Amino acid sequence: MHTPSRRTLLSVPLAAAGAGLLSAFAPARSQEAAFVDPSGPEVAAAERRRGSGPVRSFRFTAAESTLDLGGRTVRSWAYDETLPGPLVRVTAGDVLNLTLTNRLPADTTLHAHGVRLRCDMDGTPDVTQRAVRPGADFTYRFAVSHPGTYLLHSHVGLQPDRALYAPFVVDDPKEPLEYDHEWLVVLDDWVDGVRGSTPDQVLRQLHHGGSTAGPYRVLHDSHSRLLDGDGGHVAYPCYLVNGRLPDSPSVFRCRPGDRVRLRIVNAGSETAFRVALGGHTMTVTHTDGYPVQHEETDALLVGMAERYDVLVTAGDGVFPLVALPEGKQGQALAVLRTGNGRSLPSPRVRPDELEGRVVPARSLVPDESVALEDRQPDRELRLTLTGGMRKYDWAFDHRPHDPYRRHPVRAGERVRLTLINATDMWHPVHLHGHTFALNGDNAAGALKDTAVVLPHRKIVADFDADNPGLWMLHCHNQYHAESGMMTILGYLK
């Protein structure tokens, strides 16, 4: 197993650290000793407490591939030449052993989004591990202690906006829900390989404000009522459910009256989706892998990297599951079919449920089995989300990402995270290695690892510092993160 050395931590590419690296070097370096090492004894001790069940082995090969989106073929980077990547499924208590082979022309890593895992398996390049070089491999091995719906993806640059993602489901050995079928619904916004576009090219367009090589993909007039402002700034040519375009959708079959558990995952990089299943109401049972008190809804708003599990009772017929990209043109489609003979819905169908009730995450209430106990915070971290479209200078506290700046916490503390959005745009903010309780409309809010912060609003979230290491806190708009809206929480020794 690779152990990040001090040398690894110091060999951050200049581009990632920004021009301030050299001046910030000396003080940061001396401070390094104050924080827990990602593979230090505290991390090993936390891992032992998670137990050591049966080892479940998987293998991913990341490589350039030709992908069929259904009527359109693109060249991209993918795991095992499929989109989405292969489903990884284990049971809580298992040890996941996943070997990633890198056949890409670039460094890569694999991050298990939302999983409270050991820090040196978190897949954050130059923070928890040295990135995996082309031709090399790396084995991610960690105990998986909590059931739920998660997402695996590369954590290098804009690679998640290619096909380098895969759904990750952790079954509950004592599953309390009863249902007949499970339907995995993975949403994505897609640009890579369409008329020569790449995500990196799109980022350059966002930065320069002007045109570079390839089709111009910057969206200037976006509005989303649910997001109270711009929905996003990348005009994707395609939106996908389970890797398919609306003209050739994936079809889920079952019998009328069956209870179906949908696991909805937004694997997009710059798009929030409003999701509804025509002719059905949905019962929300989980968000970000953790159970909530059941709540009926017509539609859901799913930010990047958020997950929702819902139950539906299938009607008799053919029904469109539509994901509308908030503030953007187009849509994604999948189909639920319980009857024979009827043709597929139109690729442009808009079920009424999309305009119905949307239960926001902040009004969900955690299931008693997972609710945080009442406790006063020992520490508050207040961060302001800053930046804007004009300079495309997204950041925390006006400071671009610096891998040597850490917000200190101490093991055993109850930490209150206050995120103040001083920008004109919404941000889905994600904390690695932890699940936090939103302070919602009610006192105790749902447990989440990724939360939508609306423009000029704030969220307050509490978590227990129970997973030592260095953990990224960042916007899951990949273009914002890549432009600087990332920072690190560090456990003090």
Contact between 338 and Cu ion by CB under 5 A: the answer reads no
| Nearest alpha carbon to residue 386 among 416, 431, 420, 418 | 420
Q: Is 21 helix (H, G, I), strand (E, B) or coil?
A: helix
Determine contact, residues 134/107, Cβ cutoff 8 Å.
Answer: yes
Q: C-beta of 426: minimal distance to Cu ion in Å?
A: 7
Q: What is d(CA 107, CA 125) in angstroms, rounded to the nearest whole number?
A: 9
Q: C-beta of 475: minimal distance to Cu ion in Å?
A: 3
Size of the site for Cu ion (CB under 5 A): 4
Q: C-beta of 304: minimal distance to Cu ion in Å?
A: 9
Residue from the set 261, 427, 434, 474 that interacts with Cu ion by CB under 5 A:
427
Contact between 234 and Cu ion by CB under 5 A: the answer reads no
Contact between 271 and Cu ion by CB under 5 A: the answer reads no
CB-based burial, 321-348: b 16+ in 10 Å, e otherwise: bbbbbbbbebbbbbbbbbeeeeebbebe
Contact between 435 and Cu ion by CB under 5 A: the answer reads no
Q: What is d(CA 149, CA 112) in angstroms, rounded to the nearest whole number?
A: 11
Q: State which residue, 279 or 455, has the beta carbon closest to Cu ion.
A: 455
Q: What is d(CA 447, CA 370) in angstroms, rounded to the nearest whole number?
A: 8
Contact between 233 and Cu ion by CB under 5 A: the answer reads no
C-alpha radius of gyration, the chain, whole number: 21
Q: State which residue, 65 or 477, has the beta carbon closest to Cu ion.
A: 477
Residue from the set 438, 475, 486, 489 that interacts with Cu ion by CB under 5 A:
475
Q: Which two tokens stand for residue 153?
A: 């993806």
Contacts of 222 (CB under 8 A, 6+ apart): 230, 231, 232, 233, 327, 328
Please name the amino acid found at residue 305. Answer: A
Q: C-beta of 238: minimal distance to Cu ion in Å?
A: 22
Binding range to Cu ion, per CB under 5 A, among 104-112, 338-346, 456-464, 469-477: 469-477
Binding range to Cu ion, per CB under 5 A, among 49-57, 236-244, 422-430, 436-444: 422-430
If residue 263 lies in a helix (H) or strand (E), which one and from where to where? Answer: strand 259-266
Binding range to Cu ion, per CB under 5 A, among 18-26, 221-229, 423-431, 459-467: 423-431
Apex 149 CA angle, 228 and 470, nearest 5: 80
Q: State which residue, 450 or 477, has the beta carbon closest to Cu ion.
A: 477
Contact between 477 and Cu ion by CB under 5 A: the answer reads yes
Q: C-beta of 389: minimal distance to Cu ion in Å?
A: 11
Q: C-beta of 477: minimal distance to Cu ion in Å?
A: 4
Binding range to Cu ion, per CB under 5 A, among 65-73, 78-86, 420-428, 464-472: 420-428
List interacting residues with Cu ion (CB under 5 A): 427, 475, 477, 480
